[in-house]
Amino acid sequence: MLPEKSNISSFSKSNNYDKNSFASGEINQGFVPSLSALENNLEKKEQSQEEDNGKTPYLLELFKRRWAFILGATLGVTTGVTWWTFQQSPIYQGKFMLLVEKPMESQTQQNQLGTGLDGGNTNTNIDYSTEVQILGSASVLSPILKEISDRYPDIYEDINLQNLENLDIKQLDKTKLIEVSFRDEDPEKIAFVLDTIASEYLENGLNSGEQNIGEGLKFVRSQIPILEKNINNLQTKIEKLRTDYKFIDPQIQATELTQQLVATEKEFFATQIQIQEAESAYNSIQQNLKLSPEDAIALSYLTESPRYQNLLKQLQEIEIELAKQSAVFTDLSPQIITLKDKQNNILNLIEQEKARYSLRNNNQKNLQEAIAIPSKMRDKLTQDLIAKRDEIKVLNSKKDSLQKVLDNLNQRIASLPAVTREYNNLQRELNTSTESLKRFLETREKLELNNIQNNLNWQIISPPQVGESPVYPIPLYNLLFGLFGGLTFGTVVASIIDKCDRSIYDVKKLKTVTQLPILAEIPFDKNINLTTKKQNIPAFFTSNSPQKESLEKDKLSLSSSLESFRNLYTNISLLTPNLPSKSVVISSSIPREGKSTISLNLAKVATSMGQKVLLIDTDFRLPQLHILVNVDNNQGLTHILTGKIPWQNAIQSPSQWDNLSIITVGEVLSDPSSLLYSQAMSTMMQQIQASQQFDLIIYDSPSLLSFSDGKIIASQTNGLILVVKIGSTKDYELRHVYEQLRVTNTRILGLISNEIR
């Protein structure tokens, strides 16, 4: 797909295209604009491509790309279903039919029996659904199953009285017929079971209308007290469960407990934070006070004691006197000794006073620092310390209480699932019993009303018969199901894989990645992959001989690739008008995109149009041109750039094609990028361009994702063309290369979508 015309025009306006600078070979910033001729050419091709895409649905494209996976999934699922089918034991089915009608209807409609049997409308007041329920009720079937169990003890496994598994009793739509069918693996067992059921129905009087209604009414009346008792028992159990666990509805209880748990946990964590804050404040106050709460209280009492204050005063007076006498007398004088004795006595009395307040064993330094604090401040700190201690005790008590509440809530929540399950089971049983009681009450009313009407007449019109073919499994149906299921599974999984695949599979996606014009769409053609064998080269022009030239032209006319390359050359010519010598770089995002093959085929198309073409291989990492053209690689670009030979001597002219010249890589060096960056490379390119010996110069460069060689060369040419191999290139790889080229202001002529299938 190509960009919209408006987008192409916007490129032209935004990049301020200058034809003169382009013709002179100068490098413009941004991208190459779209000329009107190129717009028309690309627009026509875009319309053609859109028409082709419209004819190819997504599923068809998906099958083309993922056919192997879809085929494998289809075969795998089909094989699995087939194997499973033949592993199953065949199940057979037998049935018999009862005709249920009123006696008067039997007389008046005897001639219309066929109408009643074939689904015609019947005017009757018979409640067939009730009759079907009676026939399938446990009270009717239990004696029958007991009789059958004498021969087949496993009959209770085959026929479950709760859901009548394998036994089906139903009224045929809009008829007077009730069909009874039974399924099992043993045809003899089916015949015996159906014979027993049919005979028991008749022997128990179900063929007598009067007795049928009487027995049915009797049965319904007998079941009602049982159901009522069962309902009362279930209600009692539910009430007891609600009383024991103190809830009305377990869902509401669960919500309330969860809310309580969240609120309690929130309060618990808040209390923990309060405790941490209180403990932090407590430690801070204690650090300032230097005492424990008990010592702080004792110190407060001590400092308020008159005796302690008097002793401190005496000590102070003695210390003053001692200081005065020390200035006059020596330490051994009687006066000094007497004063020191008094000082020691006073100190002993002070210690005794401290001991009264439990301060004897305290750290003296901390105590002195605490005493040095002003009394008002110390009292305030003491009060705060005691308050924080009490607060911590209260908070810890609250935390313990909250922990108990949390444990209780968690215990109740843990037991709630079992309680809920028991409650739901009881409630389900209650609903089932209530519905059953409701149905029996309705049935009783109907039977009582029918009791005064005509009685029913029962008749087996179709004896028990067992089908010869199994009803399960049916191989053909399973095979078709396996095919359809496998195909669906494979398609869905393949679609998921396809959506996750980042490869570019069509031109439409290619257009959305870069919004660059697509210069050519090269279809997939296995013959276009050139090899080293000359006879296998699909050379567009391989000889000077008119006869061989005609032969090659015939071959090309059979290939859709030729027109694509002609269109490519035309678009390049329109992008580079009025240039006597055009030069382009052909590169790709990743290796093996087919750029070398495209470079060679573009050169051959150009030569077929009478153009002189020089093809230069600059891919030092993976040179291919000398292999494709089958020429020597003894000397080439490396020898030119290292100054060993002039560029004219490195040119080779293959004999297969007129007007085509080629410069191979030559010797491969360890650091080829340095050669491409060199002045020699720039000089060579300018000389070749200035010589005007060639109408078109094509540089085959390595992939851009790994190497910058292509950007180096493109800066001195008329532009760069990116080759994108459909189904190989990832969108992120192309986008990354595109962004790199934009950053370096490399001129991009457009894209070539290669190997379109």
Quick one: what percent of the chain has pLDDT higher than 90? 8
In which band, very low, low, confident or very high, does the pLDDT at 664 lie, cut at 50, 70 and 90?
Answer: very high
Is residue 69 within 8 A of residue 493, CB to CB? The reply is yes
d(CA 487, CA 484): 5
Residues 484 and 543 in one domain: no
Q: Given this model, what pLDDT does residue 353 score?
A: 64
For 214-264, what is each residue's pLDDT tens digit? 677 788 888 889 988 988 998 888 888 878 777 777 777 778 778 888 888
- Residue 729: the pLDDT is 77
Residue 63, burial from CB neighbour count under 10 angstroms (0-12, 13-18, 19+): middle
665-671 mean pLDDT? 82
- In which domain, by residue range, is 161 found? 99-208+455-466
Task: Tell me, rounded to whole angstroms, the distance of Cα 506 from its chain centroid.
Answer: 26
Whether the pLDDT of residue 532 is over 60: the answer is: no
What is the pLDDT at residue 686?
A: 92
> Which one has a higher pLDDT value, 149 or 322?
149
How confident is the model over 123-143, as pLDDT tens digits?
556 778 888 888 888 888 888
Note whether 462 and 523 are same-domain residues.
no
Each residue of 31-79: pLDDT tens digit?
Answer: 333 444 444 554 555 555 544 544 457 677 777 767 777 888 888 888 8
The 3-class SS string of 373-410 reads CCHHHHHHHHHHHHHHHHHHHHHHHHHHHHHHHHHHHH
Residue 168 belongs to a domain = yes
Q: Are residues 680 and 543 in the same domain?
A: yes
pLDDT at residue 102 above 80? no
Per-residue pLDDT band for 304 (boundaries 50, 70, 90) equals low
31 or 714, which is more confident = 714
Mean pLDDT, rounded, of the chain: 75
107 and 177 housed in the same domain? yes
| Judgement on whether residues 598 and 543 belong to the same structural domain of the protein | yes
Q: How far apart are CA 544 and CA 559, in angstroms?
A: 21
Q: Model confidence over 412-455: pLDDT tens digits? A: 777 778 778 888 888 888 899 899 889 888 888 887 777 655 55
- Residue 449 falls within a domain, yes or no? no
For the entire predicted model, the pTM comes to 0.43
CA–centroid distance for 465 within its chain: 54
Q: Answer whether residue 536 is part of any domain.
A: yes
Residues 645, 737 within the same domain: yes
Residue 752 has pLDDT above 80, yes or no: yes
Considering the domain architecture, whether residues 562 and 576 belong to the same structural domain is answered as: yes
Please compute the mean of the pLDDT values over residues 96-112 and round it to a whole number: 64
* Amino acid 714: pLDDT: 87
Looking at the fold, whether 521 and 662 belong to one and the same domain comes out as yes
- Residue 30, pLDDT score: 38
What confidence tens digit (pLDDT) does each residue in 193-205 have?
988 888 887 776 5
Q: Is the residue at 135 inside a domain?
A: yes
pLDDT higher than threshold 80 for residue 659:
yes
Using one digit for the tens of pLDDT, what is the confidence trace for 630-657? 899 888 999 999 999 999 999 999 988 8
Q: Say whether the peptide bond before residue 577 is cis (omega within 30 degrees of 0).
A: no
In this structure, the number of other CB atoms found within 10 A of the CB of residue 438 comes to 11
* Distant-in-sequence, close-in-space partners of 57: CB < 8 Å, separation ≥ 6: none
**Do 639 and 672 reside in the same domain of the chain?**
yes
Answer whether residue 583 is part of any domain.
yes
The reply to whether 708 and 725 lie within a common domain is yes
Structural domain includes residue 545:
yes
Angle, helices 507-514/731-743, rounded to nearest 10 degrees: 30
pLDDT tens-place string over residues 3-35: 333 333 333 333 333 433 333 333 333 333 344
Q: What pLDDT does 613 receive?
A: 95
pLDDT, position 49: 52
Residue 562's CATH number: 3.40.50.300
547 and 674 share a domain?
Answer: yes
Q: What's the rounded mean pLDDT across residues 661-676?
A: 85
* pLDDT of the residue at 109: 53
Q: How far is CA 15 from CA 11, 328, 391, 682, 722, in A?
A: 6, 109, 77, 26, 20
Q: Is the pLDDT of residue 582 over 60?
A: yes
Which pLDDT score, from 0 to 100, does residue 548 have? 45
Q: Is residue 691 part of a domain?
A: yes
Percent of the chain with pLDDT over 70: 74
Same domain, 199 and 74: no
For the chain, the domain total comes to 3
Interatomic CA distance for residues 672 and 713, integer angstroms: 13
pLDDT on residue 298: 60
The half-sphere exposure of 196 on its side-chain side, counting CA atoms within 13 A, is: 21
pLDDT in tens, 462-508: 888 888 788 777 777 778 888 888 888 878 887 777 676 667 767 77
Question: Does residue 377 sit within a domain?
Answer: no
**Is the predicted pLDDT of residue 692 greater than 60, yes or no?**
yes
Asked if residue 317 has pLDDT above 80, the reply is no
Instruction: Indicate if the pLDDT at residue 539 is higher than 60.
Output: no
